Each structure stands twice: as structure tokens, then as C-alpha cells.
Amino acid sequence: MKRYPILNIWVDDCTMETALRQVDSFIKSNTGLKTIFASNPEKNYSVPENKILYDSFKNADLLIPDGIGMVLAANFLHGAQIKRVPGCELMQNICKLAADKGYKIFIYGAKEEVNKSAAEEIQRTYPSVKISGRQNGYLSEEKMDGLIKRINESEAQILFLALGSPRQEMWISKYRHQLTNIKVCQGIGGTLDVLAGNVKRAPEIYCNMGLEWFYRLISEPKRIKRQAKLPLFAIQVLIQKF
């Protein structure tokens, strides 16, 4: 799969369909743990600040175009015909894939009530899916060995990390070599809050127009600090092009 450099980070040439085929291939190939992270304009500024995070991101096996900014930048800079692959939607499609193929999943992260509600929602949506374990994200470092043991004993092939970025990328970088059965690990950020009904995704019309970021901004004005980087990102893309 082709990888495009976008300023200080990268994005892979994929669509939802090709991403799912890649996930299925990762699980079947039995070549060790593969990581999936979301690539968006904000990470252009946060990822390079930490070497461990940068290396974890750079060496990820699949960097999905989660933000419309990455799709537009890849098209503008490289002529790439990629489509947005929201991490929230990919996670749910992976759950459907797991249900269809009999793969087991483990869910780690978020508050206990959110984790529990999201797991129940996944089970309702995909009755045959095998959720072989789950754990909220409020676990001390002293108990991490026990969590690793539980994940390994669950025989799950798929691990969803809902720890937020950069914590989830740092976590998998530290513990990936202790995970004996996991074939695919996806960092899903706040997806469990969406599944639990605590956070509402943008209406379909916003998503189709690439304006989900705008809907989130008007719904959560406190995000303006983070999204203030979007104009800077656009300017830097222009500079890189010309």
C-alpha cells in the first residue's frame, strides 16, 4: 500500500474497503502484531514532538486518512485518489468483519461505564461477535502485567485501544512485544463514547461534505484551540506544493 508524506507525517493510500481487506490480511498472515492509527492534520504538530510517538506512528502498518485535511492534502500534493476513512467507522466495520469471520476482540480504554455500554452496543449490533475481554482505561501501571496476561489468555486477535492520542500509541509501543496473540491493534480514541451514546457524531450531510470538523467545533467550542491549527496546516501544504 502506497504511503504519502504530508508535511511531518504520512497517510496511506486506502479506502474503507481496502483498509478492511488489509485488516483481514493482517490477521490471516500470522506475521506478528500490526498497528492502525488515524492520520489527521492535528497529528502533524503533535507526533513529531515525541520521538517514541513519532517512531510508533512512522512504523504503523496502516495510517488511515481519518481527517478530510489529509485527503485533500494527499490529492493536492500527490494526486492521490484516496477517501476519508473515519476511525470510528473502521472500528465498527472491523467488528462486523470479526463477527463474520469468527475473530475475537478485546477492548481496552475509556471509563468503565462507557467501556461496558460500548461493548454491549457492539454485541447488540453484531450478535455473533466474540468480545473475549474488556478493561476500562483507569488501570495503574502496577496492574499492567495482569492486563497483558488477560489479553493473551483471551486469545483475541484484535485489540481496540481507546486511550486517546498520544497515550494509545505510546502504550502499544511499550507493550506490543508482550502481546502474544494480537494480530491487529487499532487506536480508536473517543470511539467508545460515540458507541455508548455520550458523544454524537455529525449528521450525515456534514460527513459527506467533509465538514465533520466544523460540526464538532460548533458543538464543542472548546475545540477551537486544537482546530486553530487547521489554517496553518493548509498554508504549510501550499508552501510544500509550491
Does the pLDDT value for residue 49 go beyond 90? yes
Q: Is residue 206 part of a domain?
A: no
Asked if residue 174 is part of any domain, the answer here is: yes
> What is the count of structural domains for the chain?
1
Q: What is the mean pLDDT of the chain?
A: 91
Statement: residue 212 has pLDDT above 90: no
pLDDT at 200: 72
- How much of the chain is in helix, strand and coil states, percent to nearest 5? 55, 15, 30
Residue type, 129: V
* Sole residue written with cell 493536492: 76
Q: pLDDT band at residue 222, thresholds of 50, 70 and 90?
A: low
Cell representation of residue 145? 502485567
Q: Residue 125 — very low, low, confident or very high, per pLDDT cuts 50/70/90? A: very high
CATH number, domain at 119? 3.40.50
Phi, psi for residue 12 in degrees, rounded to 5: -90, 150
Q: What is the pTM of this model?
A: 0.92
- Amino acid occupying residue 229: K
Residue 18 has pLDDT above 80, yes or no: yes
In the 8-state DSSP scheme, what is residue 176?
G
Residue 241 inside a domain? The answer is no
Instruction: Kindly report which listed range (45-49, 141-145, 208-212) carries the lowest average pLDDT score.
Output: 208-212
Q: Give domain status of residue 149, yes or no.
A: yes
Instruction: Please enumerate in sequence order all residues whose Cβ is within 8 A of that of 139, keeping only pairs 6 or more positions apart, or say none.
Output: 147
Please write the tens of the pLDDT for every residue from 77-98: 999 989 999 999 999 999 999 9
Nearest 10 degrees: CA dihedral of 196, 21, 11, 208?
-60
* Gap between the Cα atoms of 236 and 242, Å rounded: 10
Q: For residues 210 and 186, which has the higher predicted lDDT (pLDDT)?
A: 186
For residue 14, what are the CA distances in angstroms to 20, 64, 87, 97, 217? 10, 7, 13, 17, 27
d(CA 17, CA 21) in angstroms, rounded, equals 6
**pLDDT at residue 210, rounded to an integer:** 67
Domain holding 143, by residue range, is 3-195
Q: Is position 182 within any domain? A: yes
Instruction: Confirm whether 65 is domain-assigned.
Output: yes
Q: Does the residue 205 lie in any domain?
A: no
Q: Are 66 and 84 in contact (CB under 8 A)?
A: yes
What is the pLDDT, as a whole number, of residue 218?
Answer: 66
Q: Is the pLDDT of residue 76 over 70?
A: yes
**DSSP 8-state symbol, 87:** H
Integer Cα distance of 213 and 133 in angstroms: 32
What does the pLDDT read at residue 242?
A: 85
Within a domain: residue 78? yes
